[in-house]
Amino acid sequence: MAQITEITVPDLGGASDVPVIEILVSVGDEVKAEDPLVTLESDKAVLEVPSPEAGIIRELKVALGDKLSQGSPIVSLEVADAGVSAKAPPTETAAPKAAAPEQAAPKPAAPESPAPVSAPAPTPAPASSTATVPATAGSTGLPSLSSTSGAFHASPSVRRYAQELGVDLSRVTGSGRKGRISREDVAGFVKDALAAPASSGGTGLPVMPEIDFSRFGETETRALTRINKLTGSNLSRAWLTVPHVTQHDEADISELEDFRKAHKAEAEKRGLKLTLLAFAMKAVVMALKAHPEFNSSLDSSGENLIIKHYYNLGIAVDTPNGLVVPVIRDVDQKSLYDLAAELAEVSGRAREKKLAPKDFEGGCFTISSLGGIGGTAFTPIVNAPEVAILGLSRARMQPVYEDGKFVPRLILPFSVSYDHRVIDGAAGARFSTLLGKLLGDIRGLLL
């Protein structure tokens, strides 16, 4: 027997009255669990609300422009296991308030809470970050952004996507009805621009050939999660537009480790796990204060540096759905215990897919810690529009030559990648050296 469920807006991370900018389904559509239903656009981010269950859309309860808050109804859904044909026609009572502009491509793994379309991933893209595109577009040969509001047909999320990639939509040919431009059209345009020979304004990068791998053995196709795709797009942009240098260094953290162990019991009493990361955050803030150009972003003209006088650190968190980078604010004003508590809380929410758009905003510098896993060095990608990132590898006991003999010391390898347009090599080496000293002498952190 058919079972109709009303799908409502989940927690929007405190936001309310958020306008509907796209309706991605029509009455009669079959949706899978996690397929997006509507797109909402707040001041800070564009969010897609996914269907929590598979089924058939029986009624649309929203129209474009409606303002939604937590609990607002979106659709009536006939749940999939109710034994109804997937292609069943809409019921006669179904009365859509608005026609769906276009069917969204199926999204393989969306969070239960609405996923920020423009916010998460290692290059969290707050609204202001799109402003860096024109300044960098020339260096890649990508078409520059001149207009995303012209007289062509494209949904707001496609316009935003184009804006993020620096694509002039007037140059994109739409493949949809009446020339409507889809996300895939924009992606195809960028792909073509990248593949174009250098003489025609592209980067001259050769196109990756399409290969049928099943010719060589058994294969399976696994869809990327939405977070994987966002991360991939942000990383590609940062990799193509930021001239990276990575400085590898090491710190003797033997004393830091003694201190950490001495406070382990006290931390546990408070229900906390005091890891190296909290100390690294404190050391980074001190190094940022000493080298303000590391705490900056290029402005949209590419001619000025915006130096930040606040210290918000992005922390790369590994989750089952992919990498996300929530931001911990005002690290300079927090104690080691405060930071340990916030790290546990934020990384827990990240793994439970409960981060809100505001959790990704306002980062100044990012730390990516792979120390709990392993490795001796790596080259982290700058989380643009930030200009530098710290990668922590695994600390190991090593023999260090001191006063004529080898002594066992705990050595932490770390890597600092930076944007060479903003930071000179000498400054990069000075920053890394200071960071090593701060981690090596715990007293420096306590001052």
- Scanning 131-139, 160-168, 275-283, 302-310 for contacts with ligand CAO by CB under 6 A, the matching segment is 275-283
343 binds ligand CAO, rule: CB under 6 A:
yes
- Scanning 57-65, 103-111, 218-226, 269-277 for contacts with ligand CAO by CB under 6 A, the matching segment is 269-277
Nearer of residues 51 and 347 to ligand CAO, judged by Cβ: 347
When CB distances to ligand CAO are compared, the closest residue is 371
323 binds ligand CAO, rule: CB under 6 A:
yes
How many residues of this chain interact with ligand CAO, rule: CB under 6 A?
A: 21
- Scanning 4-12, 103-111, 311-319, 435-443 for contacts with ligand CAO by CB under 6 A, the matching segment is 311-319
338 binds ligand CAO, rule: CB under 6 A:
no
> Exactly one of 75, 181, 315, 341 binds ligand CAO (CB under 6 A); which one?
315
- Rounded to a whole number of angstroms, the CA Rg of the chain reads 25
- Scanning 34-42, 44-52, 327-335, 367-375 for contacts with ligand CAO by CB under 6 A, the matching segment is 367-375
* Min CB(445)–ligand CAO separation in Å: 16
> Exactly one of 368, 383, 417, 432 binds ligand CAO (CB under 6 A); which one?
368
Closest to 38 measured CA to CA, from 80, 67, 2? 67
369 binds ligand CAO, rule: CB under 6 A:
yes
Site for ligand CAO in 112-141 (CB under 6 A): 122
420 assigned to active site: yes
Site for ligand CAO in 345-364 (CB under 6 A): 347
321 binds ligand CAO, rule: CB under 6 A:
no
The binding site for ligand CAO (CB under 6 A) comprises 122, 275-277, 315-318, 323, 343, 347, 368-372, 380, 392, 394-395, 412
Active site residues: 420
